[in-house]
Amino acid sequence: MYADNSVALHDVSFSVQPGEFISIVGHSGAGKTTLVKMLLAEDKPTSGSVFFESVNVHEIPSNRIGELRRRIGVVFQDFRLLPQKTAYENIAFAMEAAGRKDDEIHVDVPHVLELVDLGDKMNHFPGELSGGEQQRVAIARAIVNQPDVIVADEPTGNLDPVNTFEVVQILKKINDLGTTIILTTHNKGVIDSLRKRVLTMDRGKVIRDDREGKYIL
């Protein structure tokens, strides 16, 4: 519940297994982004608890929140790339922030760019890349520190159907390699093509939880 007494989430309870691919769907305002913020300890529940493995994320001391967030890679709708840095430098910057060594950076950045099919664009600036390519750089940045979970918050919201398909295929590839994926979206085509678990939200509540679901609202 927010300060103005508006209820963002109510009576929500679910779990995600390691290696799972789960999509959280619902109209704008359904509570999807609030869920993501609570997982990242950016928002705190008015009541109830959010656990990452056996740890209550809202009981983690502030000086250790960074450890949690290094285990959760986040992909945003608006890419959030640094415009003055190349694709390579954007990803290297995330590794530097995590305390990784130069020799690791030199090996891992080209590797993840190849994984997202951008090995030939590593020296391009964001302004020289298409929207789909920028989102793939953002995905590479999210996975380069080998997190346990990727949270993709409306990652295809600004993309055309072709680029949307490519981004979803990359997320599936990452999931196949063992990373848990939590995807929030209101793109019916994406959900129907995945045939993975779908959690449907409406006005702050979970109204469906389908193991191999489609977008039904």
Q: How many CB atoms lie within 10 A of CB 47?
A: 5
Residue at which a domain ends, from 146, 175, 197: 146
Q: Is the pTM of this model over 0.85?
A: yes
Q: Output the tens digit of pLDDT for each of the chain's 217 residues.
A: 888 888 899 999 999 999 999 999 988 888 998 998 998 899 999 999 999 999 999 999 989 988 888 899 999 888 999 999 999 999 999 999 888 999 999 999 999 999 999 999 999 999 999 999 999 999 999 999 999 999 999 898 888 888 888 999 999 999 999 999 999 988 888 898 898 999 999 999 999 999 987 777 6
The CATH number given to whatever domain includes residue 155 is 3.40.50.300
Residue 76 forms part of a structural domain: no
58 and 10 housed in the same domain: yes
Angle separating helix axes 102-115 and 161-176, nearest 10 degrees? 120
CA 74 to chain centre: 4
Number of domains present in the structure of the chain: 2
- Domain residues for the domain of 139 are 81-146
- Tens digits of residue pLDDT in 171-200: 999 999 999 999 998 888 889 889 899 999
